[in-house]
Structure 1
Amino acid sequence: MTDTTTSELEEAALDFDAAPPAAWSMTTWLAVISMAATSFALVSAEFLPAGLLTPLARDLGVSEGTAGQVVTATASVGAVTALLSNVLIGRLNRKTVLVSLSALAIASNVLAAFATEFWLLLLGRAGLGIALSAFWALSVAVVARLVGASATGRGMAIVTLGVSLATIAAPSMGALISDWLGWRSAMAATAGLAALAMLLQALFLPTLRATTSNSLGGVWQLVRRRRVQLGMLAILMLMTGHFAGSVYVRPFLEQVTHLSTGLIALTLLGFGIAAVVGNVAGGRMADANIRVALGVTAALMAISALALVLWGAQVVIAFGFATLWGFAFGMAPVVLPTNLSRGAPDALETAGSLMVVSFQVAITIGAVIGGYVVDTLGPTGPLSLTVLLALSTLLLAVLQPRD
């Protein structure tokens, strides 16, 4: 793609009222697909430990609880990275940055695969956290430059499709590869995915010269904008509610619905497939009307969790509304970042940093509060919290200013 085309894309990214292009060129499609491949590779590596903890812990001589801290290492380092990454990259070419992040993911996964000590594994996972958060902090801005700001929702839907697919595939495939070839081979496979993503980026991403140099001062100035504050609040409320409930949905299905392990796996598969469909629907809806998209996402999540609380003892209802919840969750990673970006069309990279920080904080708070609630109120407690926070997000969407 020529620099002239890139320049045109940069100008389009500043106009959210511009009419979306009738059709994307092949170069645009390939560039967006390279971003989706990167999201699949990074999130696959992030979720991989869920299927590897037992053999990993045994091989490295640590408890499963200690082994689970590989997830904490990724998330905690990622939260700090999200805030600082766009400041540290300065005016570097964004294509160079993205390719370098994939290279970091390769190195991190290789280090994890060959780690002989637990601290080396943690170091590798910390590197993955840097790559993950920096990628997502840049993602909205890069997609807007590739497809035009008025089609950002559609572009992000394709990129986050990699997340949904990785969420479904990574834990199960990791467990299978681990059983066949060992957990180190599963870790090495994610390095291969990152290498493929890096190749696609190198081949198909256009030159993306920096249009701004970010600073921490700029971050704080952006936080003062009311629309940005509302966008961050929507992420915090909806995602805290989601993770408070979804992390503990298995105990609910076991203790309330009384499902067997096989039926629980089938229910979670339905959740994952619905999330893929929600990705596509969320992208189209976000570009058409972001307030409606946010309201629908929150309403569907609230209805799903409420139905489970009230009638979740019935198998058919539990399966149906868990699937609807998956659809709403699939919409969220598209709708929420697009909604936040509406408040900062002139600072999409900085807004991306705030988006990632908001997601990381919400995940942490949701898991902690959900754990306390499930211990205190039982398996329906976390889902009730999901209902409350999703309804609060719906109210926020109604009150949010029009574009």
Structure 2
Amino acid sequence: MHRHAYEGQCAAESSRHTVAMSPIRNPRLTLFALALGTFAIGTGEFGSNGIIQLFSADLDVSIPVATHAVTAYAFGVVIGSPAITLLAARVNRRALLLGLVVLFLVGNGLSAVAPNITLLVVFRFIAGSVQGAFFGAGAVVAAYVYGPGRGGKAFATVMGGLTVATIFGSPLGTFIGQNAGWRAMYWAVVVVGLLAGAALVAWLPRTDDLRGTSIASELGALQRLNVWLMVTVAALGISSIFAVYTFIGPFVTDAARRDAALIPIALAVFGLGMAAGNYVGGRVADRYEHRGLIWGYGGVLALLVLIGVAGGNLAILLPCLFGVGATMMFAIPTIQVRLTGLAPDAPTLMGALNLAALNLANSLGAIGGAITLDAGWGTLSTVWAGFVLTTAGLLLYAATVARLRTAPVPVHA
């Protein structure tokens, strides 16, 4: 399969406009609005990881039970986002994005007032149902701005807001939670969401070029085995991010035996790695078919071993956190380009499935880490759960790569 199959759909979505020739009056502001939206989403998602210990104590549940709120968010993305994408298949991408912002505000506002872990789990599911659909629709709008042949860069731009959230949003949210209570973190997310909504209203283009597609077209993509193989590769491989990120707090305080005040710094270091990996990975994805994924997965496996063996040393832990974030994000744009190449007639759904895979990985990583902790294998044992899952993803990709390369892609007028 041609590695730039995404170009065909980008051409249809963008009417073959580039940034310089875009009919959008302020294309960079459009891209900024999209990134601000994903920044708000990322702050809510990753900020939850940084306050697990806080709401665990306040709601009187153990940390493994508290991780159910994280996994519920992930299942919201896995189940809710593809469902929303299908139901809204015919909706203009602008209207879809604005509707998703409203649902995002509802989910996080309710999270801020949740009286117990059960309702917090429900409200995190609602908030999570926004994410994949927003990233999928946002990638289509970014492709409209960038033009054909730059699908990896378009998706990396949308993902850029999420990576910035890991640098600034999540650490700041954790700081707010530590000093004003974990509920204040979710109210801060609501405020950022309101700002993102205002930016989207102001700068998203009003054009029929961003109209939706038929439900039949989207459903047809779900019937392709290659799509599901790629989703499985993504879900297994990326899980190691969350076998690390979910437990950064305990890594710092329990394994490295440092003050909790260092947790936001560790989160920011991880986020810097994600931003760097995403930036480079978007460009690699547009040039090479497989390198982004193979190099990304291979690199993170080596780093997981190092954390598992020597992560109790903060001087080793922090560079490894940067490396894990960088190598995994390096792979994600390639996954998006591969998915969209396998189903170029359903780009929004493929974006939603990519984020669904990422958040299924969130669940797998958190569950795997919780299992190793419950087994009494030690704080750093969570990385070995990630190692097993990423290895499985890399092996599956190696076993199916020939099939993925030769898979026919439907041609549409």
TM-score range, shorter chain: 0.7 to 0.9
Instruction: Render the CA deviation track for 1:40-76: whole Å, top value 9, x for unaligned.
Output: 11121223334445665676x6536566544344333
Q: Which deviates more, 147-156 or 197-206?
A: 147-156
Shift of 1:394: 6.5
Instruction: State how far apart, in whole Å, the 2-side matches of 1:112 and 1:309 are.
Output: 33
3-state DSSP of counterpart to 1:290: coil
Instruction: Render the CA deviation track for 1:168-225: whole Å, top value 9, x for unaligned.
Output: 334432343345544444322211111111111111111254241224x843x32443
| Aligned 8 A contact 1:86 1:214 in 2 | no
Q: Which deviates more, 202-211 or 177-186?
A: 177-186
Shift of 1:150: 1.4
Corresponding residue of 2:273: 274
| Aligned 8 A contact 2:92 2:212 in 1 | no
Q: Does the alignment pair 1:134 with 2:133?
A: yes
Q: Which deviates more, 378-387 or 150-159?
A: 378-387
Q: Which amino acid aligns with 1:389?
A: A
Instruction: State how far apart, in whole Å, the 1-side matches of 2:263 and 2:52 are.
Output: 20
3-state DSSP of counterpart to 1:150: coil
Closer/same/farther in 2, CA of residues 322 and 345 from structure 1, 3 Å limit: same
Number of aligned pairs?
390
TM-score, length basis structure 2: 0.78
Q: Does the alignment pair 1:385 with 2:388?
A: yes
Shift of 1:373: 4.6
Instruction: State how far apart, in whole Å, the 2-side matches of 1:68 and 1:282 are.
Output: 29
Closer/same/farther in 2, CA of residues 230 and 96 from structure 1, 3 Å limit: same
Corresponding residue of 1:369: 368
Instruction: Render the CA deviation track for 1:9-35: whole Å, top value 9, x for unaligned.
Output: 99743499x897678776222212111
Task: Give me the identity figure in percent.
Answer: 24
Closer/same/farther in 2, CA of residues 58 and 401 from structure 1, 3 Å limit: closer
Corresponding residue of 1:63: 61
Q: Which deviates more, 126-135 or 188-197?
A: 126-135
Q: Which deviates more, 123-132 or 49-58?
A: 49-58
Corresponding residue of 2:142: 143
Closer/same/farther in 2, CA of residues 90 and 279 from structure 1, 3 Å limit: closer
Instruction: Render the CA deviation track for 1:336-390: whole Å, top value 9, x for unaligned.
Output: 2222112111211232333233233332233323443563766263354256236
Matches within 5 A, 1:266-345: 267-309=266-308, 316-345=315-344
| Aligned 8 A contact 2:170 2:267 in 1 | no
Closer/same/farther in 2, CA of residues 121 and 138 from structure 1, 3 Å limit: same
Q: Which amino acid aligns with 2:48?
A: P
Closer/same/farther in 2, CA of residues 253 and 402 from structure 1, 3 Å limit: farther
| Aligned 8 A contact 2:149 2:286 in 1 | yes
Closer/same/farther in 2, CA of residues 114 and 208 from structure 1, 3 Å limit: farther
Instruction: State how far apart, in whole Å, the 1-side matches of 2:81 and 2:322 are.
Output: 31
Instruction: State how far apart, in whole Å, the 2-side matches of 1:267 and 1:186 are.
Output: 18
3-state DSSP of counterpart to 2:215: coil
Instruction: State how far apart, in whole Å, the 2-side matches of 1:240 and 1:99 are.
Output: 30
Q: Which deviates more, 296-305 or 117-126?
A: 117-126
Q: Which amino acid aligns with 1:294?
A: L
What RMSD, in angstroms, separates the aligned Cα atoms of the two structures?
3.8
Closer/same/farther in 2, CA of residues 78 and 54 from structure 1, 3 Å limit: same
Gaps of 5+ in 2: 1-6, 408-413
Corresponding residue of 2:162: 163
3-state DSSP of counterpart to 1:401: helix
Shift of 1:300: 1.8
Instruction: State how far apart, in whole Å, the 1-side matches of 2:187 and 2:254 are.
Output: 37
Corresponding residue of 1:87: 86
Closer/same/farther in 2, CA of residues 373 and 56 from structure 1, 3 Å limit: closer
TM-score, length basis structure 1: 0.80
